[in-house]
Amino acid sequence: MDAFGHDPWWIVGLKALLIFVLLLLLTLFNIWAERRVVARMQHRIGPNVNGPFGLLQSLADGAKLLLKEDLTPKAADRVVFMLAPVIAAVPAFVTFSVIPFGPEVSFFGHQTPLQLTDMPVAVLFVMAIASIGIYGIVLGGWSSGSTYSLLGGLRSSAQMISYEVAMGLALVAVFMYAGSMSTSEIVAAQDDLWFGLILLPSFVIYAIAMVGETNRAPFDLPEAEGELVGGFHTEYSSAKFMMFFLAEYINMATVSALATTLFLGGWHAPLWIDEVWAGANSGYWPVLWFFGKVFFFIFVFIWLRGSLPRLRYDQFMAFGWKRLIPISLVWIVAVATMRAARNEGVFDEGFGSNPQFWMIVVGVVLVVLLLTFLVPEAEDDEADLDIATPRAGGFPVPPMPAGGAVRGAARPLPAAPGSGSGQGRSRYTEPPAAG
């Protein structure tokens, strides 16, 4: 923390500019990588025309969006409708201000850390700023004057609340083990062993929650095209539409960078490379290790989108409240107990004297327990089908999640207009005669 606050103003401004440009370039690369990787998974080619290997395709798409006609619905609240994309995009840039990219280096003749700034509550700052971005999505859905957009915005708010609770609880174990909320000090605490191994349940819960927090598949329910057309951004076009997706892809990079910082050692060299290469964690080499880990998480985002179907909404919310949060609370109690036992000198010499060993054992047990909840339960479909069958002229009604309706039950179609009390049914509700 003592290394911050001493840089001249022009170094601070140059750092901020470099982060801004880096995030823009990272967004263009992430869009290109997603289209190429998903195309490869689906045995397609993907973008390959604009630039070498199609690298300029994202730039061409951005130029196309800027030149499109900017439409505003007649029923929209114009001021809020225009401000919503800005509210969603700006916090996405701000969160990277406390992410450490590397150690202290010589930057134009000045010794400065490869980090814009740091503070004693840096991780809480990231979560607080990231929470502001959800207001842009909610206000964008509400101000559009569209039912589909409003439902998409409401889903985003409910989803953010549910999975941010689990994400915050997963980070509590990191704070207790590192003894700090500063991102640079958390990275320094992982010099020997990464928290992703010691605090495995926290890592798994955070990895699941960060997918739900960014509205990415299979948790992209606010944008479910089969139910909500396009969700909160249905009525948006041109540059405002582009800003929403700019925020989404920067948020992907933000949660990936935060996962790297908190669980994978930050900018430290992976696989104990520093033991055989003394300069692996000095100079500008740590920037390479940092972005290598970030790209790993981004690949996982793309991999999930190309391989998993979208969850049902009630299953998604139940998993967050009934599975992730209780297991997070149990894990926090276990970590606090282990830390207190270590401080009191409870562990004796001999087998299992290392508290990290017991934390890894307890962590593996909780992760296995968490993964068992992902296995779908077998359903007796044949018994349900024997209870009731659709009536003539009706249509099947899906069962309620809590079993409120019987599978296979039917709801009769309404009578045709002007048909009185059900007499003289129209040809749309009367089943055709045989033959």
Predicted confidence (pLDDT) per residue in 119-168, tens digit: 989 999 998 888 888 888 888 888 988 888 888 888 888 888 888 888 98
Is a pLDDT exceeding 70 seen at residue 13?
yes
Is a pLDDT exceeding 70 seen at residue 242?
yes
Taking residues 386-411, report their average pLDDT. 55
Taking residues 56-73, report their average pLDDT. 88
Residues 117/97, Cβ–Cβ less than 8 Å: yes
Indicate the pTM of the whole model: 0.81
Residues 47/32, Cβ–Cβ less than 8 Å: yes
pLDDT, position 346: 64
Interaxial angle between packed helices 355-372 and 325-343, expressed in degrees from 0 to 180 and rounded to the nearest 10: 170
Name the pLDDT band for 29 (thresholds 50, 70, 90). very high
pLDDT, position 157: 83
Name the pLDDT band for 277 (thresholds 50, 70, 90). confident
User: Which range among 21-35, 101-115, 406-420 shows the weakest confidence by mean pLDDT?
Assistant: 406-420
Residues 187/291, Cβ–Cβ less than 8 Å: no
Q: How far apart are CA 151 and CA 138, in angstroms?
A: 9
Q: How far apart are CA 231 and CA 146, in angstroms?
A: 10
* 429 or 33: which leads in pLDDT: 33
Q: How far apart are CA 219 and CA 270, in angstroms?
A: 30
Which DSSP state fits 321?
I
Is a pLDDT exceeding 60 seen at residue 26?
yes
Residues 115/99, Cβ–Cβ less than 8 Å: yes
